[in-house]
Amino acid sequence: MIAAHLPIQRPTQAKLLAVDGRGNIEHWPRSQFADLLGPGDLVVANDAATLPASLSGQHVRSGRLIEVRLAGRNSLAPDGIRNVTAVVFGAGDFRLRTEDRPEPPELRAGDRLMLGPLRATVAELLGHPRLVRLAFEGSPDEIWEGVARHGQPIQYSHVSMPLALRDVWTAIAGLPVAFEAPSAGFALDWSTLESLKEREVRFATITHAAGISSTGDAQLDALLPFDELYRISSATALAAEEARVRGGRIVAIGTTVVRALEHAAQDDGTVTAGEGLATQRIGRTSCLRVVDAVLSGVHEPGTSHHDLLRAFMDDDTLRRMDQELKSRAYRTHEFGDSVFVERIILGVGRMPGQSASIAARADSRRPTPGRPVTVELRPAEPGRRPVRWLH
């Protein structure tokens, strides 16, 4: 797979690999994402705007240059910006691969940091020499201005040009609480939302403070994703309940939405409104109680994002998906292509009515340009819910 290196959220040639609940794989232009959904479905996206969470500066005691990447906070309230969790890097910036970055100086509680106009103190170390809790000095409006003026979006070496905030805010970006972009949402623009509405697909959002995706330190990376705050409005919880009752699918835009909805899920599949701290890691043994499908980026095996897909499908299907992504040169990372994955459900599906199989529908389509090409068909396995792939 190749890394997408240009910060374009919706390149016209963006691709979408879709895996249905029986393991069938199709390739679509991502701009036609809405065509995969139908009446009664609910799309849930992360409306968090992204903070310029990379702050360069100096560790005062040693005089050495550092980069601080904000990675978590204690509260989603405006003054929650005062106290943050952060990962500290040595000198340099995103142009150097995170794993090649020099170590920061030894950090101790009470150390002061000068980060442009911002002043912060290391309040405590969080079990790792580079993971700290920081307390910023000043009033919330001074801190917000300092972050806004001095901070840069966190980025990695596969994108060589410095990112601006506008590059990392999704079209629906609202509350600025994410530390890295909830990039699955790059696929959505207002026209897509309009298409969803035309198809009687409902749209709702949660606010999830997406954390950082890589630190370059194996020990720290093993802890990812860090705990992440989220907020689910009563309107979104209600929309999820209505979709459940009506038998529509709940489609998460991005892994952060999966994490939040599943964290807020009750045993009966209802979603509790309110704020929460998502602490779980979703993987092969996770039982999904709310989310039926996810639109996600193309992730390399071994990452926590890739691991999350194991909650949706068996390892064999995941392997076939990865092979397809590789052989068709799908692009990875935040500005890359996407996958749409339905979860495999054993037993009786909870949706009324059943659509034609993916093969039958593919056959009935006129071979017009831009239509998906079915690359692999597998017979339905007994007990597995046929996909409802509506147009």
Partner 1 sequence: MHQNTNHLRNEFRGLRVAITGGTSGLGLAMVRESLMRGAQVAFVARGREGVESVARAHTGAYGVVGDVSKKDDTHRIALQTVGLLGGLDVLINNASDLGPAPLALLADTECEDLERAIAANVLGPFRLTKALLGALALSAREGRGAVVLNVSSDAAINPYPRWGAYGMSKAALHHMSRIWNEELRAEGIAFLSLDPGDMDTPLHAMAVPDPDRSQLKRPETAARELADAIDQLLAFMHSGRGMLEAAR
Q: Which residues bind partner 1 (CB under 8 A)?
A: 47, 49, 51-52, 76-78, 81, 140-141, 144-145, 147-149, 164-166, 169-176, 190, 193-194, 197, 204-205, 207, 233, 235-236
Give min distance, CB of 338 to partner 1, in A.
Answer: 20
- DSSP codes joined into one string, 182-198: -GGGGG--HHHHHHHHH
Whose Cβ is closer to partner 1: residue 189's or residue 227's? 189
Alpha-carbon distance 172 to 43, whole Å? 13
Question: Which residue carries 């599906």 as its tokens?
Answer: 349
Alpha-carbon distance 229 to 226, whole Å? 10
Give min distance, CB of 116 to partner 1, in A.
Answer: 13
Alpha-carbon distance 183 to 342, whole Å? 19
Whose Cβ is closer to partner 1: residue 25's or residue 295's? 295
Give min distance, CB of 178 to partner 1, in A.
Answer: 12
Alpha-carbon distance 101 to 217, whole Å? 10
Whose Cβ is closer to partner 1: residue 273's or residue 377's? 273
Alpha-carbon distance 123 to 74, whole Å? 13
| SS3 category, 382 | coil
Whose Cβ is closer to partner 1: residue 99's or residue 137's? 137
Whose Cβ is closer to partner 1: residue 53's or residue 341's? 53
Whose Cβ is closer to partner 1: residue 50's or residue 338's? 50
Give min distance, CB of 238 to partner 1, in A.
Answer: 11
Give min distance, CB of 200 to partner 1, in A.
Answer: 12
Q: Rounded to 5 degrees, what are φ and ψ at 91?
A: -60, 155
Of 241, 179, 210, nearest in space to 55 by CA: 179
Give min distance, CB of 291 to partner 1, in A.
Answer: 19
Whose Cβ is closer to partner 1: residue 55's or residue 172's? 172
Of 40, 34, 369, nearest in space to 191 by CA: 34
Amino acid at 118: L
Give min distance, CB of 37 to partner 1, in A.
Answer: 18
Give min distance, CB of 30 to partner 1, in A.
Answer: 20
Q: Where are the alpha helices (DSSP H) in the chain?
A: 140-150, 165-168, 190-198, 218-221, 234-246, 255-263, 304-308, 315-327, 358-364
Give min distance, CB of 194 to partner 1, in A.
Answer: 8
- According to DSSP, the β-strands at 54-59 and 373-376 are unpaired
Confirm if 66 and 75 have CB atoms less than 8 A apart: no
Of 371, 296, 386, 263, nearest in space to 35 by CA: 371
Whose Cβ is closer to partner 1: residue 51's or residue 252's? 51
Whose Cβ is closer to partner 1: residue 7's or residue 105's? 7
Whose Cβ is closer to partner 1: residue 125's or residue 144's? 144
Confirm if 140 and 12 have CB atoms less than 8 A apart: no
In 262-386 the beta strands, taken as DSSP E runs, fall at 274-278, 293-297, 331-332, 338-342, 373-376
Specify which residues 54 forms β-bridges with: 69, 152
Give min distance, CB of 174 to partner 1, in A.
Answer: 4
Alpha-carbon distance 202 to 186, whole Å? 18
